[in-house]
Amino acid sequence: MKNILVSTTFSKNCTYAVDLAIKLAKHNNAEIHFFHFIKTPVDWLEISKAKESNYPETLKQIVDANSKLKDYELLAKNEHLKCRTFIEFDESPENILQHSNNFHHDFIVTASEAKRNINEPTRSYVELIVRKANVPVLIVKKSNILFPFKNIVFISNFKNDVSDALKEVISIAKKCNAKIHLLQILTETGSKNSTLGLNPVEQLLQKFPKLKNYTLTVYNEPSVENGINTFIKQQPVDLIAMVTHGKSGFLSLFSKSIAEGVTNHSTLPVMTIHL
């Protein structure tokens, strides 16, 4: 983690995301970039300075955004971090992802409300970033997040090769001296019992012989979401890590609705890792 991108709309939850991103950057000696988009009534990069005055509301948005980004920059520099700020005038997820590719970010931090109307634009924006980003995305929903993380739950069906995703989780866990909880959930419709359910997890762990600080858990639950909620109630968790797939959104056992439900409704920070 050397170059962190923080996407912000300046909402309350974005403030929490900025706070956690600064802590992550300091912990990893990483550079941090703050990114804000503004939807403009015209192509702002093409109009002349003289015509900008025809759009006073947009000008005010830009001034306000620059001021808030300066505040974030000051927070980062107070922690002796390298920092840059950016304003873009296109709110499409492709824009931020292209920006991230151009600047070689290896981690994205953003915010999402714990509960949102399904048609709310910000939620769709975050979900699309999660689906299309080729680097880990951390979604933050509340303040007072325990950091460094001490307990990270890594959730997968473990049917696919998730070695690369687990490497990302292990990297963060090592930096934080955190325990990794490998969680597999078998539904009532599944044919496996809980003992057999451990097999693919154990096969995965053979690739990581040096990993010692972890637990293995398999639940038989009516649904994957129920299993996740049960585990969180029984075990202290500071970070949820899940795997995403570019074409279908999330791996087969974790339907789009389940995984996005965890992302949008859990109050814990959720990290999604693209396969």
pLDDT at position 252: 37
> Phi-psi bin for 144: left (phi > 0), alpha (psi -120 to 50), beta?
left
Q: In this predicted structure, what is the pLDDT of residue 250? A: 41
Nearest to 138 by CA among 7, 275, 3: 7
Cβ neighbours for 49, distance < 8 A, ≥ 6 positions apart: none
Instruction: Report how far Cα 46 is from the mean position of its chain's Cα atoms.
Output: 33
Q: What is the pLDDT of residue 120?
A: 45
Backbone dihedral angles phi then psi of residue 217, each to the nearest 5 degrees: -140, 135
Please report the domains of the chain, with CATH numbers, ordered by start residue.
3-140 (3.40.50.620), 151-274 (3.40.50.620)
pLDDT of res. 63: 94
Residue 10 Cα to chain centre, angstroms: 17
Tell me the average confidence (pLDDT) per consecutive run of 10 residues in the chain, 275 residues long: 94 93 96 93 87 91 96 96 92 80 93 54 68 89 89 87 93 96 76 61 91 91 80 91 64 45 70 86
pLDDT for residue 39:
87
Angle separating helix axes 163-176 and 12-28, nearest 10 degrees: 80
pLDDT at 76: 97
Tokens matching residue 222: 């009516």
Q: What is the pTM of this model?
A: 0.86
pLDDT at res. 197 = 59
pLDDT at residue number 253: 36
DSSP bridge partners of 221: 187
